[in-house]
Chains A and B, each alone.
Chain A
Amino acid sequence: MLHIVNKSPTQARSLESCLRMAQPGQAVLLIEDGVYAAAAGNSSEAQVRAAAAKVKFFALKPDMEARGMTARALDGVTLVDYGGFVDLVAEHGTPNSWL
């Protein structure tokens, strides 16, 4: 399963709910305002770092760049482009969007 989160962690509870339901080995892709969770210094950083022990984190690079967050990307988060997004869906199966 590929979890997809598009809401800012400081604006909505989507990431929190997603991480509560995510199973070990699954992937979490952060897109749109969700990418703020992939930025160092955000209040969600500890939560993301803890969850990184069981799930793999990805963030959509064009959304990081748009928001000026690329340079702050956490080391445990892999940045992907649109092609990488498609690959993740193909690899992890069922997308689960936490709108």
Chain B
Amino acid sequence: MKKFMFVNRKAPYGTIYALESLEVVLITATFDQDVSLVFMDDGVYELVKGQQTKDIGIKNFSPSYRALEGYDVEKLYVDADSLKQRGLTEKDLLVPVEVLDTAAMAELMAQQDVVLSF
């Protein structure tokens, strides 16, 4: 089993990165690998509660993050500085996550076999 890390750094909807990442995460999970998701920079916006996309004509895929648990993807890490720069706290997020400081996040990254960035 390899350690796969997905680094999410883009806001949802403005670009396709966030959705594409989610799809690749689900595929990887079916291969029974050790999967970690990191949300940093604008990627933290992917997890913000209360997204309502009816009026922009794009599917709201944020509920899918709640379904990750069902695929045994339970390691969700969020960069503390990125939250702070956006005036957000853990309470603004729609799934339970582990908030890490820079040193802890850097260490976690260094332990991976594969890092995929979106």
Instruction: Please list the residues of chain A having a beta carbon within 8 angstroms of any beta carbon in chain B.
Output: 6-8, 10-11, 32-33, 36, 39-43, 45, 61-63, 65-72, 81
B12, B13, B87: the one within 8 Å of A40 (CB): B87
A7 CA / B11 CA spacing, docked (Å): 10
**If A42-B87, A43-B85, A66-B13 touch, does A36 touch B55 (CB 8 Å cutoff)?**
no
Cβ of B52 and Cβ of A65 under 8 Å apart?
Answer: yes
Which of B11, B41, B48, B51 is in CB contact (< 8 Å) with A33?
Answer: B11
Using a Cβ cutoff of 8 Å, how many contacts connect chains A and B?
74
- Interface residue count on the B side (C-beta < 8 Å): 25
Select from chain B the residue with minimum beta-carbon distance to A63: B56
Chain B nearest CB from A7 CB (Å) reads 8
Q: Considering the chains assembled together, what is the distance between the CA atoms of A33 and B56 in angstroms?
A: 12
B residues 20-79 touching A (CB-CB < 8 Å): 41-42, 45, 48-56, 58, 60, 62
Q: Point out which of A36, A40, A66, A70 has the most chain B C-beta atoms below 10 A from its C-beta.
A: A66
- With contacts A33-B13, A39-B87, A66-B13 taken as known, whether A8 is within 8 angstroms of B50 at the C-beta atoms is no
**Interface pair B87/A72, CB less than 8 Å apart:** yes
Question: What 10 pairs across the A-B complex have the smallest Cβ distances?
Answer: A41-B87, A33-B14, A62-B55, A68-B50, A66-B53, A68-B48, A68-B51, A43-B85, A65-B52, A66-B56
